[in-house]
Amino acid sequence: MTKKATKKITVTRFDAADYLDSEEMIAEYLAAALEDDNPDVFLSALGDVAKARGMAKIAKDAGLKEATKLSIQ
């Protein structure tokens, strides 16, 4: 019997808030969420936007000038 090699897959957690770094990106994200028939999609998108704006404020208050990614867990 031969052993089959298996590949280990590494995944990272995706958080849309990490990518909502401009008013334009937020507007596009919310517009796309509104296209879905499920209202929960839009509500979830609003939560992502709130989280993204909160992170930007924290970065600004901390004096970080170029905070492109701030992860709060």
Domain boundaries, the chain: 16-61
The structure's pTM equals 0.62
For residue 72, what pLDDT is reported? Answer: 42
For residue 70, what pLDDT is reported? Answer: 45
What band does 66 get if pLDDT is binned at 50, 70 and 90? low
Please report where in the chains the tokens 């936007």 appear, as a residue: 49
CA atoms within 13 A on the CB side of 50: 6
The larger pLDDT score, comparing residue 28 to residue 53, is at: 28
